[in-house]
Amino acid sequence: MPEARSDYGSNALSAAMTFAVAVAAFALLGHWLDEKLDSSPWLLVVGCVLGTAGGMLHLIRKLAPETFSRRGERRKPSERGDA
C-alpha cells in the first residue's frame, strides 16, 4: 500500500512542477512580447492566464483522470455519480 501512495506523491509533484513551468513560461513569453510590441502589460496578463489554464488542465488530468472521458466516449449516469 505505501507504494501506491508514493506513486500518487510523485505524480502530484510532477504535475505541480509542470503547472509552475507552464505559468512561468507563458508569463515570460508574454513579457518578452510586451517588450517587443510595446503593449505592456497586456500580453503578460494573457500569458499568465493561458499558462494557468493550461497548467490547471494538465494538473486535473494528471491527478484526477476519471473526471475526463475520452473523445467520443459517453459516460453513463452511474459512472458520473448522477442518480
CA distance 62 to 12: 8
Q: What is the mean pLDDT of residues 13-39?
A: 94
Which cell is 68 given? 475526463
Predicted TM-score (pTM) of the model is: 0.70
69 sits in which H/E element: none
Q: What is the mean pLDDT of residues 14-25?
A: 93
In this predicted structure, what is the pLDDT of residue 70? 67
- Using alpha carbons, select from 67, 66, 62, 64 the residue that is nearest to residue 17: 62
Q: How confident is the model at residue 72 (pLDDT cuts 50, 70, 90)?
A: low
Which cell is 6 given? 508514493
- Count how many residues are written for the chain: 83
